[in-house]
Amino acid sequence: MSRLEVLPFDESHLPDAGRLLAARHRRHRAAEPHLPARFEDPVTCSTEVAAVLGGTDVSGAVALRDGRVVGYLLGAPKPGPDWGRNVWVESAGLAVEEAEDARDLYAAAAARWAEEGRTAHYVLVPAHDEALVSAWFRLAFGHQHTHAVREVPAGPAGTPPHVRVRRAARGDVAALARLDLELPAHQALAPTFSAAPTGTYEEALAEWEDDVDDPDFATFVAEHEGRVVGSAVGCRLERSGSHAGPARPDGAGFLGFAAVLPGARGLGAGRALGEAVLDWSRSEGHACVVTDWRATNLLSSRAWPALGFRPSYLRLHRLLGH
């Protein structure tokens, strides 16, 4: 194989990047057909990559072999303290013909990111591409987060006889606020060890006072012996900033939140809440439903695949210097 040449990415590389991304997405849709068909078009993909390149503090690299572009990588920081001094490679930020070339592209791009003090690196990789995932694992990245999709069910699911699921009402605001704190509290524990701030009950209560009647969100609660023990929220996927570009199926619903009180886990409330969001998505005319979870969250990483969700993208993560 000819020697690989790696150069900084610039606008002249956009048509080739679009070609590469469209080819990657065609392979991806063969494994997961719910992904958006329009990104099989190189022109659409070039426009998407141009939007990435037009962001703030974007940098990256392009790989050539015998003068032909065979791969590219683009990353940019996300604002805010939650992710550290970071760089993210989003769903349109990477495409290669040969998985191994991603390692050379990262070596070139990451040198600048490290010089800028950006030591927390994140990349979204198609879940079906085992060779590409392996290439990133051999760059010391690990599997942090899973994006997943499934069809809407053909009909409503039943619930366990000892669990009742219903739409939330204003009288549930206090319970919803308490449940809002359960997910970050759980993810702060082993083995997830999330450092994301939990917030306060008063803040959650104020938000639910404002939002409980918002028609853009379908909020459900699960009751056991007359007490609210869990909640879940569904909405259109467009309301989620975590799913964009090639990673956003068209016409999809989103299971955006679910939590069950520790003492009520094991009753089937979490599954019943997830099924309620699936049923709501079907009634709204969505073709599929998307959700995501931390790979180290033992509850979520078992519950949602058991409900039929298939991984579509993996978020991989590396912290430099350790």
DSSP H or E run through 199: none
Yes or no: say if 287 and 278 are a contact pair by the CB < 8 Å rule: no
Structure tokens at 256: 């955006």
What is the set of domains in the chain, with CATH numbers? Answer: 4-139 (3.40.630.30), 151-310 (3.40.630.30)
Please state, for a pLDDT cut of 90, what percent of the chain lies above it.
92
Q: What is the pLDDT of residues 250-269, one digit of tens each?
A: 999 999 999 999 999 999 99
| Region of poorest pLDDT, from 13-27, 40-54, 146-160, 226-240 | 146-160
DSSP H or E run through 217: strand 217-224
Q: What is the pLDDT of residues 284-315, one digit of tens each?
A: 999 999 999 999 999 999 999 999 999 999 99
Q: How far apart are CA 312 and CA 291, in angstroms?
A: 10
pLDDT value at 322 more than 80: no
Structure tokens at 59: 């940098």
Question: Average pLDDT in the 31-35 region?
Answer: 98
| Region of poorest pLDDT, from 54-63, 65-74, 78-87, 94-103 | 78-87
Please, is 17 exposed, middle or buried when counting C-beta atoms within 10 Å of its C-beta (0-12, 13-18, 19+)?
buried
Yes or no: say if 305 and 270 are a contact pair by the CB < 8 Å rule: no
Yes or no: say if 87 and 123 are a contact pair by the CB < 8 Å rule: no
Across the beta sheet with 310-319, what order do the strands follow? 86-89, 120-126, 310-319, 142-151, 288-294, 252-260, 227-236, 217-224, 164-167
Please state, for a pLDDT cut of 70, what percent of the chain lies above it.
100
The pLDDT of residue 1: 65
- Vertex 264: Cα angle to 259 and 267 (nearest 5): 100
CA distances from 156 to 105, 152, 175, 218, 266 (A): 47, 10, 26, 16, 22
DSSP H or E run through 223: strand 217-224
Q: What is the pLDDT of residues 199-254, one digit of tens each?
A: 999 999 999 999 999 999 999 999 999 999 999 999 999 999 889 999 999 999 99
The pLDDT of residue 155: 87
**At a CB cut-off of 8 Å and minimum separation 6, what does 2 contact?**
65, 66
Question: Average pLDDT in the 152-173 region?
Answer: 91
pLDDT value at 159 more than 80: no
The pLDDT of residue 196: 81
The pLDDT of residue 287: 95
